[in-house]
Amino acid sequence: MVPLSFYLVLSGILFVCGVLGFLIKRNIITIFMSIELMLNGVNLSFVAFAAQWHSLSGQIFVFFVMVVAAAEAAVGLAIIIAVYRTRETLNVDQVNLLKL
Amino acid sequence: MLHLILFLFFGVICAAGAINLLAQSHPINSALSLIVVMASLAGEYLLLGAEFVAAVQVIVYAGAIMVLFVFVIMLLNAGTEEHTRGSRVAILLGVPGVLIGAVLVAWTLLYRSDISSVKIGSMYGGPYLIAQLLFRHFLLPFEITSVLILVAIMGAVVLASRPDAVAKRHHAEAPKAMPELVGTGKEH
C-alpha cells in the first residue's frame, strides 16, 4: 500500500524540476525538454487520481496529453530548426525577435 | 510492502533523472536523463495498474518523441550552453519563485489532503476497457486529435523546409538570388 500523496509528491517534484529548468536553462532545446518534464509530472498525477477514484477517464486524458505533446514536439522542433537556420544559435538570450 | 519498495525504486530513479536534467549543461545529456525519467514513469504507471498508459508512455514518449529530440540535437550540433547577463537574472528570479511554489505544493499535500492509498492490482485498466471508453464516449475528441496531428505534420514540414527551396518551387522559371542561410558550424 502506497499513500496517494507519495505519487502526488513525486509528480510535484517532476513539475518543479520542469519549471526550474524552464526558468534557468538557456538552451532552447533543454527548455523544450523541461516542458515535456512538466507534462510528465501532470500525467503522473492524472493516473494516480484515476486509480484513486476508480475512473478510467484520467487515463484517457493522459492519452490525449501524450498526443498533444507529440504534435507540440514536432512543431516546436521544426521551429527550433528554423530559428537555428537564421540565427545560428540556440541560446534564448540571443533570440529576441520573432521575425525570421 | 513490495509495492512501496517498487514505488521508491522507480521514484528515486525518476527524481534523480529529473535533477540530472537540470544539472547537465549539454543538451544530449539532458535528453538521455529525460529518457530515464520517462522509462521509470512507465514503471510507476504499471504500479498504478495503468497498463495501457505505461505501454504508450514507453512507445510514444520514450520512443518517438525522444528520438525526435536526440535527432534534432545531433542535427544542429548543439554544444554546451553559454551564460549571459539575462541568465543570471533568470536564476535570481527563478529559484526563489520555484521554492515558494514547491513549499505551497508541499503544504497543500501535507495539511489539505484527506486522501487514501492505492495498492498493486487494485485497478482495472486493461486495453479493453480503455478502448470501450475511447471509441464510444471520447470518440469526438479522438477524431479531433487526428486532425491536430495532421495539422502538426504539415506545419512541421513547412517550418523545417528551407525558405529558398520553397521560393524555388514557387518561382521555378525566375529563381531569385536568395542568400545562403545555412552556415557551416559556427564557433561559440
Mean pLDDT, chain A, rounded, equals: 88
Q: Any idea which residue has 518517438 for its cell?
A: B64
Q: Which of A86, A54, A41 is nearest to B118 (CA)?
A: A54
Listing DSSP states for B98-166 in one string gives HHHHHHHHHHHHHHS----EE-TT-----HHHHHHIIIIITHHHHHHHHHHHHHHHHHHHHHHS-HHHH
Q: Mark which of B30, B58, B80 sits at the end of a domain.
A: B80
> Which chain A residues are within 8 Å of B129, Cβ to Cβ?
56
Residue A63 and residue B60: Cα distance in Å, rounded? 10
Is the residue at A100 inside a domain? no
> Which chain B residues are within 8 Å of A27, Cβ to Cβ?
27, 78, 81
| Residue B78: alpha-carbon gap to chain centroid | 18
Is the residue at B153 inside a domain? yes
Is the residue at B67 inside a domain? yes
- Assign B39 a pLDDT band (cuts: 50, 70, 90): very high
Domain of A34, CATH number, reads 1.10.287.3510
The reported pLDDT for the residue numbered B188 is 46
B3 pLDDT above the threshold of 80: yes
The reported pLDDT for the residue numbered B187 is 45
Please give the residue that has the higher pLDDT: either B90 or B53: B53
- Assign B129 a pLDDT band (cuts: 50, 70, 90): confident
Is the residue at B15 inside a domain? yes
| Exposed / middle / buried, residue A98 (Cβ in 10 Å: 0-12, 13-18, 19+) | exposed
Is the residue at B124 inside a domain? no
User: What distance in Å separates residue A97's CA from the closest CA in chain B?
Assistant: 15
**Residue B28 sits in which domain range?**
1-80
B185 pLDDT above the threshold of 50: no
The reported pLDDT for the residue numbered A6 is 86
| Contact status, residue B148 vs residue A71, Cβ threshold 8 Å | yes
Measured between CB atoms, which of A5, A17, A79 is closest to B159?
Answer: A79
Tally of domains in chain A: 1
Domain of B3, CATH number, reads 1.20.120.1200
For residue B76, give the H/E element and its range: helix B66-76
The pTM score is 0.80
Question: Are A82 and B160 inside 8 Å of each other by CB?
Answer: yes
For testing the chain B interface, which of A15, A30, A43, A72 should be mutated: the one with the most B CBs within 10 Å?
A30
Is the residue at A38 inside a domain? yes
A2 pLDDT above the threshold of 90: no
User: What distance in Å separates residue B3's CA from the closest CA in chain A?
Assistant: 6
Predicted confidence (pLDDT) per residue in A66-88, tens digit: 999 999 999 999 999 888 888 88
The reported pLDDT for the residue numbered A39 is 94
Is the residue at A37 inside a domain? yes
Residue B98 and residue B22: Cα distance in Å, rounded? 14
- For residues B54, B55, B59 and B65, what is the CA-based torsion angle, rounded to 10 degrees? -20
| Contact status, residue B7 vs residue A6, Cβ threshold 8 Å | yes
* Mean pLDDT score, B72-86: 76
Asked if the C-beta of A2 comes within 8 angstroms of chain B's C-beta atoms, the answer is yes
* Mean pLDDT score, B43-56: 88
Question: Are A24 and B90 inside 8 Å of each other by CB?
Answer: yes
The reported pLDDT for the residue numbered B103 is 83
Question: Are A59 and B125 inside 8 Å of each other by CB?
Answer: yes
The reported pLDDT for the residue numbered A43 is 94
Predicted confidence (pLDDT) per residue in A15-54, tens digit: 999 999 998 888 889 999 999 999 999 999 999 988 888 8
Q: Which of A48, A17, A54 is nearest to B41 (CA)?
A: A48
The reported pLDDT for the residue numbered B78 is 72
% of chain A with per-residue pLDDT over 90: 48
- Chain A from 35 to 74: CB within 8 A of any B CB: 36-37, 40, 43-44, 47-48, 50-52, 54, 56-57, 59-60, 62-64, 66-74
The reported pLDDT for the residue numbered B62 is 87
SS3 A55: coil
**Residue A17 sits in which domain range?**
4-94
> What ipTM did this prediction achieve?
0.91
Sign for the pseudo-dihedral over CA of B86, B89, B93, B96: positive
The reported pLDDT for the residue numbered B31 is 92
Measured between CB atoms, which of B3, B60, B186 is closest to A70?
Answer: B60
- Chain B from 72 to 91: CB within 8 A of any A CB: 72-73, 75-76, 78, 81-84, 86-87, 90-91
- The answer to whether residues B76 and B142 belong to one domain is no
Tally of domains in chain B: 2
SS3 A30: helix
Is the residue at A47 inside a domain? yes
